[in-house]
């Protein structure tokens, strides 16, 4: 136990300067046949720490700009260790009154952080994929009930296909959630190349019967938003459920500078968000909020078993309000980080990231060999390498090589995407440790590698 603490301090201190990635060859030291006689905990933990702190991808550090990847605040890290120490099962109050109470306050605090009305209630889940799954599971239950079917009891058989509408920003994980729920990932009708087209949506909903609309608050390539208030207005004219995927974009609500991007959020029926992105708590952490939280119990309550508390029992709990039964007390790091830094600490962090994103956009705009491809409304900067004299037809290839070179080099991390037909980089800034120095290093490494792979 002491060994972990002793290794943690220098490791955490090293994150500011060490490369994001320096190879994982040493992981081989952990890959053997199952030992018949174990070596004992002390030797194993020592080996694990030695290999892990070397071979891991140091994404908790300040220069991992790939995907949308948060770090871990000190309070959240200490709390996460405490979760393992206490090893609670956050299934029910019977299993842990402690976890139940902390989860209740963590959900209340998150709801307040995002400015949602008190009627909203939620469930903590493992990720935004699971938050989309949970939300769309509740949506499915609502939709089937419009057809007179209790889908929790009877399933989808005999029902028509559930109409789902979204815009071009729909995230792969929303499709995956629909795939897992039995609707199929291709059940989404995409209305508009980027933001959802409101008049197409209005027409589609007029013809579809009861339907589900997936709006996107924070698109992964540029951080752009669907017009939530406009979508809510259209949805209110029809028989439809409005789901908002705000995996990281929900944090726009924390600053008056960006709160307008999520105006209308309170009119959603369900909302999905991640904890392990911008909240900077450890994996795995996500949450779903519903305007009518009782719908979670209807969709996810389990059939009774004589040894389990039923859904109406005072000893029931969050395990009956989401896809998991036995669950980690992932509420504890959420509680700890919000208790430690408060609303104003989180607002300050988000605003620091907004500033850093503008700073990065400015560096891109000033560089003769870089080209920004989109506005920067939030924390993602979409751009590509475009050295003077390189023919247009070669730019995609060049940018793919730069993306590969970045991951090989390891000083900073970012991945490529395709934006409006162009291969591009899309660094996302959501780690509390990131500073201007990291942004400057990122730009200089990209330019250096771009010159070297040409
Ligand atoms: C990251 C992300 C997801 C999926 O989140 P996971 O935590 O990886 O499951 C869903 N939607 C959006 C918009 C995202 O950015």
Q: Residue 81 belongs to what H/E stretch?
A: helix 74-86
Q: What is the mean pLDDT of residues 57-73?
A: 97
**pLDDT tens-digit series, residues 344-376:** 999 999 999 999 999 999 999 999 999 999 999
| β-strand pairing of 211-216 with 164-166 | parallel
Please report which helix (H) or strand (E) contains residue 408, including its range.
Answer: helix 395-409
339 Cα to the center of ligand 1, angstroms: 25
Minimum-distance ligand 1 atom for the alpha carbon of 220: 15
Assess whether the C-beta atom of 171 lies below 6 angstroms from ligand 1: yes
Q: In angstroms, what is the span from residue 275 Cα to ligand 1's centroid?
A: 10
Tokens at 375, concatenated: 């506005």
pLDDT per residue over 16-45, tens digit each? 999 999 999 999 999 999 999 999 999 999
Per DSSP, the three-state class of 2 is: helix
Residues 6+ apart with CB under 8 A from 201: 165, 191, 213, 231, 234
CB 134 within 8 A of CB 296: yes
Ligand 1 pocket, residue 196 CB under 6 Å = no
Q: What is the pLDDT of residues 297-316, one digit of tens each?
A: 999 998 878 888 877 788 88
CB crowding 270-284: b at 16 or more within 10 Å, else e: bbbbbbbbbbbbbbe
Query: Residue 213's pLDDT is what?
Result: 98
Average pLDDT, the chain: 97
Of 452, 413, 447, nearest to 62 by C-alpha is 413
Q: Compute the distance between CA of residue 147 and CA of residue 239 in angstroms, rounded to an integer.
A: 12
- Confirm or reject CATH 3.40.640.10 for domain 78-338, answering yes or no: yes
pLDDT greater at residue 113 or residue 302: 113
Q: Other CB atoms closer than 10 Å to residue 440's CB: what's the count? A: 13
What's the token pair of residue 226?
A: 């669907």
- Cα 16 from Cα 233, distance rounded (Å): 46
- Tokens 């769309």 found at: 136
Q: Is the CB of 274 under 6 A from ligand 1?
A: yes
Top mutation candidate among 69, 125, 126, 127 for ligand 1, by most atoms within 8 Å of CB: 127
State the Cα–Cα distance between residues 75 and 332, nearest whole angstrom: 10
Asked: is 343-453 a CATH 3.90.1150.170 domain? The reply is yes
CA of 248 to the centre of ligand 1 (A): 8
pLDDT by residue (tens digit) across 395-411? 999 999 999 999 999 99
Residue 226 beta carbon below 6 angstroms from any ligand 1 atom? no
State pTM to two decimals: 0.98
> In sequence order, which residues have a C-beta less than 8 Å from that of residue 39 and are 6 or more positions away?
none
The closest alpha carbon to 181, from 217, 155, 153, belongs to 155
Ligand 1 midpoint to CA 207 (Å): 30
Any ligand 1 atom below 6 A from CB of 417: no
- Expressed in angstroms and rounded, the spacing between residue 162 Cα and the centre of ligand 1 is 23
Closest listed residue to residue 165, CA positions, set 102, 207, 114, 111:
207
Domain boundaries, the chain: 2-69, 78-338, 343-453
Nearest CA to ligand 1 atom 2: 247
- Tell me how far the alpha carbon of residue 399 lies from the centroid of ligand 1, in angstroms: 24
**Cα–Cα distance, 127 to 238 (Å, whole number):** 30
Structure tokens at 412: 């900073």
276-294 confidence digits (pLDDT tens) = 999 999 999 999 999 999 9
The 3-class secondary structure across 278-342, one letter per residue, is CCCCCCCCEEEEECCCHHHHHHHCCCCCCCCCCCCCCCCCHHHCCCCCCCCCCHHHHHHHHHHHH
């Amino acid at each position: 136990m002491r060994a972990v603490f002793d290794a943690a301090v220098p490791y955490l201190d090293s994150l500011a300067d060490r490369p994001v990635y320096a190879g994982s060859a040493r992981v081989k030291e952990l890959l053997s046949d199952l030992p018949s006689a174990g070596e004992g905990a002390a030797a194993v933990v020592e080996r694990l720490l030695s290999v892990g702190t070397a071979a891991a991808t140091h994404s908790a550090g300040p220069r991992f700009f790939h995907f949308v990847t948060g770090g871990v605040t000190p309070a959240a890290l200490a709390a996460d260790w405490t979760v393992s120490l206490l090893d609670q099962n956050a299934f029910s109050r019977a299993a842990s009154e402690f976890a139940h109470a902390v989860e209740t306050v963590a959900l209340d605090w998150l709801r307040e952080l995002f400015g949602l009305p008190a009627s909203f209630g939620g469930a903590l889940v493992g990720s935004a994929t699971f938050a989309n799954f949970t939300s769309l599971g509740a949506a499915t239950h609502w939709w089937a009930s419009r057809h007179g079917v209790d889908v929790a009891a009877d399933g989808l058989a005999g029902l028509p296909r559930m109409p789902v509408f979204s815009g071009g920003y729909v995230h792969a994980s929303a499709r995956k959630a629909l795939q897992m729920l039995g609707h199929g990932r291709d059940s989404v009708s995409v209305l508009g190349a980027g933001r959802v087209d409101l008049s197409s949506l209005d027409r589609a909903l007029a013809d579809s019967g009861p339907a589900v609309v997936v709006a996107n608050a924070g698109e992964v390539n540029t951080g752009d938003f669907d017009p939530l208030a406009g979508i809510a207005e259209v949805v209110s004219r029809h028989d439809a459920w409005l789901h908002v995927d705000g995996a990281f974009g929900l944090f726009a609500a924390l600053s008056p500078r960006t709160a307008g991007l999520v105006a209308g959020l309170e009119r959603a029926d369900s909302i999905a968000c991640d904890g392990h992105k911008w909240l900077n708590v450890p994996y795995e952490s996500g949450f779903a909020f519903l305007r009518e939280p009782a719908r979670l119990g209807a969709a996810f309550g389990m059939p009774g078993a004589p040894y389990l508390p039923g859904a109406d029992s005072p000893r029931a709990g969050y395990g009956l309000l989401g896809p998991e039964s036995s669950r980690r007390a992932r509420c504890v790091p959420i509680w700890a980080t919000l208790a430690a830094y408060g609303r104003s600490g989180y607002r300050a962090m988000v605003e620091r990231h907004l500033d850093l994103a503008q700073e990065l956009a400015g560096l891109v705009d000033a560089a003769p060999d870089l080209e920004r491809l989109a506005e920067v409304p939030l924390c993602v900067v979409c751009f590509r390498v475009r050295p003077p004299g390189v023919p247009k037809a070669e730019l995609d290839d060049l940018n793919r090589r730069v993306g590969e070179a970045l991951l090989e080099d390891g000083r900073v991390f970012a991945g490529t995407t395709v934006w409006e037909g162009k291969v591009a980089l899309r660094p996302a800034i959501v780690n509390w440790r990131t500073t201007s120095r990291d942004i400057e290093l990122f730009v200089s490494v990209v330019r250096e590698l771009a010159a070297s792979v040409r």
